[in-house]
Chains A and B, each alone.
Chain A
């Protein structure tokens, strides 16, 4: 079951397999092909797809469609993500399930539209007012792009939250061999629906970290959705204690352990202790894998820690994987976005570990050689 496929096609196919029924997007390199694929796939699979007038409308349409009960997805790149910003906050505040594919390119601004970069790693985490948690997954291959897209839908459904699939130009539009017989297809999870017949509360939770059961428009109860500060009933809130409770809920409903229950590829690493660890994500994890292979052949006690989950930062699992290593390398195609997390995590651990950043911002992939230079 072989195909010569690119990541954008893999993501689009995964969306259909995950039960996506609504897509809205606006053309932008290198994400355009997802829009084109979805324009082909949605009408043929009882879904709706539209090229919106701009990115603001794309995400606005998706949020509306999601609240009307459809699994929804949009796709863009850095400049489009900037335009998504206010609506990302809206989706967080309104607890709206939504998958956002960010096919990263070399930024900032218009940057190099056709070149690769990991420009949005911190942006997706902090790119909207408030700074409440979101979820972001990072595939390294087109097979993972397929599998993680399905996980993205599952996580969006489970957590009623925007979930980012952090693709990039290299994964998105470089074709590679995919053997479908080896590709993981996660079990599909749908949002928890409100089952009661009493007074429906659209943002209800018992424990702070609980996810409110969902009800779409058009069913047996009136649904009130607001992204102004609201109570469990969807009415405006002005009482400080109640506002605090609501914000604590948004702040605690997503955490590392909860997300890892639904996503088993947060941190991929073997259990052995190593002197040197290379921590990498996205396309760079593949160069890191190559570098680790070569370094091992040269007798180095080294291992790769590959991150499939970027947000929430799987820090407990990263720390465990680092173990007693004394040298931590973090190669990235940006000016050190995730190094900020790794440095923070390492600082909190015992033992004098050295963290070395390897940053490449010339639009080319970090090469295995560049990583090896820091080791050998």
Chain B
């Protein structure tokens, strides 16, 4: 232990708890000087520590502190910074934390978020008994690689560079410029890393007869430079967020969605299930939503549930709509009142219903599928949905078929569908929808004739 002498932010009532010769003691003193020289406001400064011996460090500083889970320090630091960009946020972690939190390190660097990550790199896990870490050199002896490490070490600076991060420096506690490098990192507007090489005198040093010369040999062996090895001044993440998302979203989403009100009546007398069965690309889901909105405008309660494969551009697309004059508690259709079948993919998904249907139930089916229907007692009416929609826009087939369905059954007025389009769709889509509604009604004329 070494008594803390007067520093800038170090708390003199504490003693550093680190082993004799451990690099952490010097690193923290350098950090204190760097912060002091930059005259950082302790109340606007947060030190976030990871797990490991270095994780004990936040308490020695008279600044804000956050001590959390292993490898996750960078996530807390980023959260703090995003919530209050005025704060200077410093993460102190070991090479253990660098490994377990690798994804966070990589992504923070990639985002170029303005935090400073200091890795107290002593080539092994000091706190748990000296196991190998992501920075243990090949052949390095640790408790979990006692015959010599068979993995090669990770170069943290190179990762920052690989993801186009802002700033990366490497140094050792033996260098004279550690404070200067830390100051440069703290001043940098963007992500900054200081990979500081140290001794772990409890484990790595005795197990490997490690000394300064050996440390220098590793630098040579892996051709690693010291000092500031990478600097790329590009816009910082939060600045990018403000410039792009805040400005963009405020422009795009000024007004909320308009509310609907009841403007039409309906002829629904009991809970009614409608299934639209089609294929990917037929806009089943969005058309069913327009239909649902129209039901609301007609004074109904409605639910809509969709089913489609996770590979959305292929296979079936089914929407289940339930209509009622009061709350719909059980939102599953076990026996549909109406089936609208417009594609073979949809038919294959819903044909299990058909044998159970009775003559009070109705199927609207595309003309081309009429012969493919399994035998059923339900009333079946066919319309050339596919052929008609192909003539102007095949993506309009669902809204077209739903129009024909409404016109045929008169469960609520087609005008409500038009109003739903007007209220919920952008002009370009609305134009197509109106055309589809028109064509859907024409099919009805044909049926009558």
Q: Say yes or no for A86: interface residue by CB 8 A criterion.
A: yes
Nearest chain A CB to B240 CB, angstrom units: 11
- In-complex Cβ contact of A61 among B66, B82, B303 (8 A): B82
CB <8 Å contact, A286 and B331? yes
Nearest chain B CB to A63 CB, angstrom units: 6
Report how far A175 CA is from B246 CA in the complex, Å: 29
- B residues near A42, Cβ cutoff 8 Å: 249
Nearest chain B CB to A111 CB, angstrom units: 13
CB <8 Å contact, A286 and B64? no
Q: Which of B23-31, B71-79, B408-416, B427-435 contacts A (4 or more CB under 8 A)?
A: B71-79
CB closest residue in chain A, given B63: A222
Q: Which of A213-221, A259-267, A337-345 contacts B (4 or more CB under 8 A)?
A: A213-221
Nearest chain B CB to A286 CB, angstrom units: 4
Report how far A226 CA is from B59 CA in the complex, Å: 10
Nearest chain B CB to A317 CB, angstrom units: 23
CB <8 Å contact, B292 and A60? no
CB <8 Å contact, A364 and B332? yes
Type the 1/0 row for B27-71, where 1 means its CB is closer than 8 Å to any CB of A: 000000000000000111010100000000011001111111100
Q: Say yes or no for A300: interface residue by CB 8 A criterion.
A: no
Q: Say yes or no for B107: interface residue by CB 8 A criterion.
A: yes
- A residues near B328, Cβ cutoff 8 Å: 176
- In-complex Cβ contact of B262 among A2, A48, A54, A69 (8 A): A2
- In-complex Cβ contact of A60 among B67, B76, B252, B296 (8 A): B76
CB <8 Å contact, B250 and A68? no
Type the 1/0 row for A202-244, where 1 means its CB is closer than 8 Å to any CB of B: 0000000000000011111111111110000011100000000
Q: Say yes or no for B138: interface residue by CB 8 A criterion.
A: no
Please indicate which of the listed interface residues B64, B103, B250, B257 has the most CB atoms of chain A within 10 Å of its own CB.
B64
Please provide the chain A residues from 343 to 361 with a CB less than 8 Å away from any CB of chain B in the complex.
none
CB <8 Å contact, A43 and B292? no
Report how far A104 CA is from B200 CA in the complex, Å: 46
Type the 1/0 row for A117-139, where 1 means its CB is closer than 8 Å to any CB of B: 00000000000000000000000
Please provide the chain A residues from 163 to 179 with a CB less than 8 Å away from any CB of chain B in the complex.
170, 173-177
CB <8 Å contact, A286 and B330? yes
- B residues near A21, Cβ cutoff 8 Å: 83
Report how far A226 CA is from B49 CA in the complex, Å: 9
- In-complex Cβ contact of A223 among B65, B106, B292 (8 A): B65
CB closest residue in chain A, given B302: A177
Given A177-B301, A222-B43: A367 in contact with B84 (beta carbons within 8 A):
no
CB <8 Å contact, B82 and A50? yes
Please provide the chain A residues from 278 to 324 with a CB less than 8 Å away from any CB of chain B in the complex.
283, 286-287, 289-290
- A residues near B46, Cβ cutoff 8 Å: 217
Q: Say yes or no for B394: interface residue by CB 8 A criterion.
A: no
- A residues near B87, Cβ cutoff 8 Å: 68, 217-218
- In-complex Cβ contact of B69 among A24, A227, A234 (8 A): A227
Report how far A2 CA is from B260 CA in the complex, Å: 5
Q: Say yes or no for B145: interface residue by CB 8 A criterion.
A: no
Q: Say yes or no for A57: interface residue by CB 8 A criterion.
A: yes
Given A61-B78, A65-B83, A90-B68: A236 in contact with B59 (beta carbons within 8 A):
yes
Report how far A226 CA is from B42 CA in the complex, Å: 18
- B residues near A290, Cβ cutoff 8 Å: 329-330
CB <8 Å contact, A43 and B69? no
Q: Say yes or no for A67: interface residue by CB 8 A criterion.
A: yes
Q: Say yes or no for B304: interface residue by CB 8 A criterion.
A: yes
CB <8 Å contact, A61 and B65? no
Q: Say yes or no for B146: interface residue by CB 8 A criterion.
A: no
CB <8 Å contact, B84 and A218? yes
Given A4-B289, A61-B75: A176 in contact with B301 (beta carbons within 8 A):
yes
- In-complex Cβ contact of B84 among A50, A56, A63, A217 (8 A): A217
CB <8 Å contact, A87 and B260? no
CB <8 Å contact, B331 and A365? yes
Nearest chain A CB to B74 CB, angstrom units: 8
Report how far A97 CA is from B79 CA in the complex, Å: 14
- In-complex Cβ contact of B43 among A39, A220, A225, A227 (8 A): A220
Type the 1/0 row for B276-303, where 1 means its CB is closer than 8 Å to any CB of A: 0000000000000100110011001111
Nearest chain B CB to A200 CB, angstrom units: 11
Please provide the chain A residues from 65 to 103 with a CB less than 8 Å away from any CB of chain B in the complex.
65-70, 72, 86-87, 90, 94
Please indicate which of the listed interface residues B68, B303, B328 has the most CB atoms of chain A within 10 Å of its own CB.
B68
Nearest chain B CB to A281 CB, angstrom units: 14
Given A4-B293, A67-B80, A69-B83: A180 in contact with B330 (beta carbons within 8 A):
no
Please provide the chain B residues from 145 to 178 with a CB less than 8 Å away from any CB of chain A in the complex.
none
CB <8 Å contact, A222 and B64? yes
Q: Say yes or no for B355: interface residue by CB 8 A criterion.
A: no
Q: Say yes or no for B371: interface residue by CB 8 A criterion.
A: no
CB <8 Å contact, B75 and A57? yes
CB <8 Å contact, B259 and A2? yes
- B residues near A367, Cβ cutoff 8 Å: 330, 332, 334
CB <8 Å contact, A4 and B72? no
- B residues near A62, Cβ cutoff 8 Å: 79
CB <8 Å contact, A53 and B103? yes
- A residues near B86, Cβ cutoff 8 Å: 218
- A residues near B292, Cβ cutoff 8 Å: 4, 175
CB <8 Å contact, B304 and A4? yes
Nearest chain B CB to A217 CB, angstrom units: 5
Nearest chain A CB to B15 CB, angstrom units: 14
Nearest chain B CB to A128 CB, angstrom units: 11
Q: Say yes or no for A153: interface residue by CB 8 A criterion.
A: no
Q: Which 8 A-B pairs have the closest CB atoms?
A: A64-B79, A60-B75, A68-B83, A65-B83, A61-B79, A43-B249, A64-B76, A44-B249
Query: What are 27 residue pairs bridging A and B, where the CB atoms are less than 8 Å apart in the complex?
Result: A1-B261, A2-B259, A3-B259, A4-B304, A40-B253, A43-B245, A44-B253, A53-B107, A57-B103, A60-B78, A60-B79, A60-B104, A61-B75, A64-B83, A67-B80, A175-B303, A176-B301, A176-B303, A176-B331, A177-B302, A217-B64, A226-B66, A236-B59, A286-B330, A286-B331, A290-B329, A368-B330
Chain A residues with a Cβ under 8 A of chain B: 1-4, 21-22, 24, 29, 39-44, 48-50, 52-54, 56-57, 60-70, 72, 86-87, 90, 94, 113-114, 170, 173-177, 180, 216-228, 234-236, 283, 286-287, 289-290, 364-365, 367-368
